[in-house]
Amino acid sequence: MTVYFLCVVLLTMGLYCLVAKKNIVKKVIGIVIMDYAVNLYLIIIGYKTGGVAPIIEADMPLSTLERFVDPLPQALVLTSIVIGLGVMSLMVAMCIRLYEKHGTFDMSVISKLRG
Amino acid sequence: MKGMTLIVKTITDFVAGFIVIFGAYIVLYGHLTPGGGFAGGVIVACAFILLMLAHGADVAFSKLPEKVAHVMDSAGALAFLGIGWFGLTAGFFFMNTFGRGEMFKLFSSGMILPFNIAIAFKVGSSLFLVFSALAIFRRRSFRAMIEDELA
Amino acid sequence: MANIAPQLYALLVFMVIGSIVAIETRNLLSAVISVSAVGFALSVAFLFLGAPDIAITQLVVEVLVLIILIRGTILLDNTAVDTHRDTLAVVTSLIFFGLILGFGAMIFGSRGFPEFGEPVMRVSKVYVQTGLPATYAANIVTAVILDFRAYDTLGEATVLFTSILGALALLRREGKVSREEVVAA
Amino acid sequence: MNLVPLFVAVPLAAAFIIPLLGIWWKKSGEVLAPVCTAALAIMAIVQTGAPASVHHMGGWAPPVGIAMVSDGLSTLLLIAINIVAFVSIIFSLKYMKVYTGLTKYYALFMLMVAGMNGVVLSGDLFNIYVFLEIASIASYALVAFGVDAEELEAGFKYLILGSVASVMLLFAIGTVYAVTGSLNMADVAREISVRFGTSMNPALLLAGAMFLMGFGLKAALVPFHAWLPDAHPSAPAPISAMLSGVVIKSLGIYAICRVFFHVFGVASGAGGSVIYANSMIAFAVLSIVLGGVLAIGQWDYKRLLAYSSIGQVGYIMLGIGVGARVLATGGQLSVAALAILGGLFHLINHAAFKSLLFLSSGAVQHATGTRDMKQLGGLRETMPITSWTINLGALSIAGVPPFSGFWSKLIIIIATIKAGHFVIAAVAMAFAFVTLAYYVKVQREVIFGSVTKLVERAREVPALMYVPLIILAIVCVGFGLLYPVIGARILEPARDALMNGTEYIQLVLG
């Protein structure tokens, strides 16, 4: 159970970085940390005690299939990593463009709009 | 002199080809060993990004012109969709209609191999494109600042 | 049966410490490097957890994230600004996150959630048992992402296409045509 | 032939082809995108009245493979999405001439449409997440498309909050998977009802809360609305119309309906369903109140419309939440049916008139160069067609009989009273008048009043821009007058699909 709890700790740390830090690159880092936490959470869900990677070899005894870890969360995480990379590159594009406009990464300087 | 020092350039030239071959291996054997189109595509993209970092954008673009990368980006995605659409001939979108072949051989498991190749082209070219766009934008907009740094 | 718990805890603690450094350091380059260290630790953790596919992908993506972050942003400006540290906001958010953590501990401590190492695997059993005979792919993860759930992977490829197209659109030279040109056209 | 997969495949193919052809042929987007969206709109209209169907992706039966499910609720959303998309694309043809990079704009637009169609047709939790990400990422980029300082900042804010929502959704999906061992929504629903019945599982409650927060962020319900008042006004007008008209509904409201009614079994009184229903009502009331209050003080035309969107989404959520609560507590079925019908009717109404108002704000901005209401006035003199359409849209949204907005709000309020929530009904009614008040303000400041300097120089917009406005105005009036047709053909199937969770499980799993 402690493993899940540490994942949640990592998630809240990313969230904290997002809320408390003014620097937009720090905000990107916060999102990256949150992505890590969720990916790890998904893989841990699929882990089986004494499990092996779900890859079949030609001379493998049939009983090994019982020891395979859950392959579905791995498929989900693969997708999630790609999504994370895509969002990250979009964010970096926005950051560099914002820097061009304002000459700073400071959100409190950039923020002019009223919410 | 553009790019990094001669040592870096020489080693990069030597290594980049091997990285591409390694990426291709990861892609082609994705259905038998760990890896697959995505990881392999990123590795191939890294090879070109390495060239760009060592030699500057011009050399990298002479190896992989921007227009070709754009075409590969769209064509890879389109090929993926097209193979999926091909399954519609058997009644279902994404139906695996290709021959299954022989287990544990390279040319097996029907459309998984073409899918992997399509993804690899798409991922590799698009990541190269976004990195070059970032680098070019940076050079264009912050030229004065970067020259300050270098001086 | 190898017990992987000690290694996993060590890696997780390392990741938490690395994240703290990444969040709190005032030098952006150090922050990015620590976050990459966390990513590499994550990749090793994936290896321990029986996910070599994910480990490889995480590793190569990590390299790319590091390069993009450093080349794209850090080289412009390396200082983490902290203009006015808003103590009240920080304290409130800490209390709020403490509450979330307490709630999470309660949930995961209750019996409603499967224990670590005992996945339900109701649908996945089908993938493991019929993966090879049905798809002829020895790597079950590949069989799942490119055959059983190929439609998801179309979505995945599209997400990457979308975000790269978006990034290219945002990095174009000028956003708008000047008014005179429109009138002329 | 089964049209369902084409709703995703056609816009995706268009989105991949447009940048490919765009390398040599700059007009590829302007030609392909209207053709494609027109085809989609026709397909969506054909799809109404079609029986509910399931398409097995890759030929794998549901719990193993992904299924595309098209039922009444999906059809309702498909109509809204594809018609608004078609109209917005036609409007873009002239309006977007001031921007550069048009092939990228049209490709991103088609990706957004594909993402939304994918979300409303998917029968799998993770698949919903993937398509939701496609639509969201496309909209992040489109909000910042003008690359001015203000637009970039709004886009960045939207991106950060949207990513938080995505992380929460993924966390919730993982939790649901850990507990039930499946991702197919019907399969998960059956597993939950078999294993837990009406008792409550704390892990599922956590997942439910995460889903509500994640989708609530996408729908801009009130505690999570911070991004909307910046993002919607900053985007180009056709994108604002899409965002306010359909994106917040298909990614937010629709997803909440689908997940809570068909996965967590709110309708059959499964564990925790009263909590979910109560929080939906609470978010709805907060949205109605805050959206109304903040809209009154605005002088920026588009920002006023954005705040109004928050309030109106609150009305939709109120109808659905009241219906969910009545069902969960075992109240009268007819009351629940009325409340849900009201919510869904307001959903398509709002899609029509809010996109009309945002497109017309674009027309005004195009002609006069401003969206500050203090500098506008007397628009009926110089731009008669645009002012008439604004008038019709404002009357509809403000709830003046016999326009459509009146009927949907009336149904929601009656259902709320019948369900016994008198205070909430009173609040909803009071804020219906507040809505009227700020749209009267719009009319007074923009359309009537003395002609200002900027308006004097303005000319009526070209036909390609006012024809879409006229189409949407006709739709607005039509929804009010032709309710019996719309109700029987679109709304009632949607309501029945939403209320019968067991039927959904039967449909998908056979």
- Subunit partners of chain C (3 or more CB pairs within 8 A): A, B, D
CATH 3.60.20.10 fits A2-49+62-110, yes or no: no
Residue-range definition of the domain harbouring residue B31: 6-150
* C-beta of residue A66 within 8 angstroms of C-beta of residue C140: no
Among B103, D16, D415, D173, which Cα is nearest to A41's?
D173
Q: Is B33 on the interface with A (CB under 8 A)?
A: yes
Dist CA D109 CA B13 (whole Å): 41
Residue-range definition of the domain harbouring residue C146: 123-174
Residue B1 lies in a domain: no
Dist CA C126 CA C137 (whole Å): 14
C115 C-beta neighbours (distance < 10 Å), count? 11
Each residue of B67-120: pLDDT tens digit? 888 899 899 999 988 888 887 777 777 777 777 777 777 777 778 888 889 999
CA-CA-CA-CA dihedral for C62, C68, C73, C79, to nearest 10: 30
pLDDT value for D358? 92
Q: Model confidence at C179, in pLDDT bands (50, 70, 90)?
A: low
Output D126 or C147, whichever has higher pLDDT: D126
pLDDT value for D381? 82
Average pLDDT over residues B23-46: 87
Q: Model confidence at B1, in pLDDT bands (50, 70, 90)?
A: very low
Under-50 pLDDT residues of chain D:
none
**Contact across the interface for D150 and A110, Cβ inside 8 Å:** no
Residue C9 lies in a domain: yes
pLDDT value for B151? 43
DSSP sequence for chain B: --SS-HHHHHHHHHHHHHHHHHHHHHHHTTTTSS--HHHHHHHHHHHHHHHHHHH-HHHHHHHS-HHHHHHHHHHHHHHHHHHHHHGGGGTSTT---S--B-TTSSSBSTTHHHHHHHHHHHHHHHHHHHHHHHHHHHHHHTHHHHHHHH-
Among C75, B143, C85, which Cα is nearest to A95's?
C75
| Beta strand residue intervals within chain A, DSSP E | none
Q: Model confidence at B145, in pLDDT bands (50, 70, 90)?
A: low
Residues of C in contact with D105 (CB under 8 A): 169
Contact residues, B window 92-111, toward D, CB-based 8 Å cutoff: 92-96
**Contact across the interface for D9 and B93, Cβ inside 8 Å:** yes
**Which among D118, D191, D202 has the least Cβ separation from residue C110?**
D202
Per-residue pLDDT at B144 exceeds 80: no
Dist CA D104 CA D112 (whole Å): 12
Q: Is D330 on the interface with B (CB under 8 A)?
A: no
- Subunit partners of chain B (3 or more CB pairs within 8 A): A, C, D
**Contact across the interface for D147 and C161, Cβ inside 8 Å:** no
How many CB contacts within 8 angstroms connect chain C with chain D?
145
pLDDT value for B120? 92
Residue B121 lies in a domain: yes
State whether C131 and C72 are in the same domain. no
pLDDT value for B64? 84
State whether C73 and C2 are in the same domain. yes
Return all residues near D86 (Cβ < 8 A) that are at least 6 apart: D34, D37, D38, D40, D41
Q: Which of B119, B128, B129 should one mutate to test binding to chain C, selecting the residue with the greatest count of C CBs within 10 A? A: B119
Dist CA B114 CA D229 (whole Å): 45
Element holding C17 (H helix, E strand): helix C5-24
Each residue of A44-90: pLDDT tens digit? 888 888 778 888 887 777 777 788 888 899 999 999 999 999 999 99
Q: Model confidence at C181, in pLDDT bands (50, 70, 90)?
A: low
Q: Is B38 on the interface with A (CB under 8 A)?
A: yes
Please give the structure tokens belonging to residue A69: 């870890």
Output D93 or A105, whichever has higher pLDDT: D93
Q: Is B106 on the interface with A (CB under 8 A)?
A: no
pLDDT value for D16? 92
Per-residue pLDDT at C41 exceeds 50: yes
Closest residue in chain C to residue B72, using alpha carbons only: C161
Domain total for chain B?
Answer: 1
Output B54 or C78, whichever has higher pLDDT: B54
Residues of C in contact with B100 (CB under 8 A): 135-136
**Contact across the interface for C116 and A50, Cβ inside 8 Å:** no
Q: Is D118 on the interface with C (CB under 8 A)?
A: yes
Q: Is C76 on the interface with B (CB under 8 A)?
A: yes
Considering chain B, what is the average pLDDT of its residues? 82
pLDDT value for A9? 87
Q: Model confidence at A35, in pLDDT bands (50, 70, 90)?
A: very high
Q: pTM to 2 decimals?
A: 0.94
Dist CA D32 CA D25 (whole Å): 12
Residues of C in contact with A35 (CB under 8 A): none
Dist CA A78 CA C152 (whole Å): 11
> ω before D402 within 30° of 0 (cis)?
yes
D359 to chain A nearest CA, in Å?
A: 22
Per-residue pLDDT at C97 exceeds 80: no
Dist CA A39 CA A20 (whole Å): 23
Residues of D in contact with B122 (CB under 8 A): none
pLDDT value for A115? 43
- Of C80, C113, C145, the residue at which a domain comes to its end is C80
Dist CA D189 CA D173 (whole Å): 13
Considering chain A, what is the average pLDDT of its residues? 85
Q: Is A89 on the interface with B (CB under 8 A)?
A: yes
Q: Model confidence at C84, in pLDDT bands (50, 70, 90)?
A: low
Q: Model confidence at C150, in pLDDT bands (50, 70, 90)?
A: confident
Dist CA B40 CA B69 (whole Å): 16
**Contact across the interface for C101 and A9, Cβ inside 8 Å:** yes
Output B80 or B146, whichever has higher pLDDT: B80
**Which among A10, A47, A53 has the least Cβ separation from residue C119?**
A47
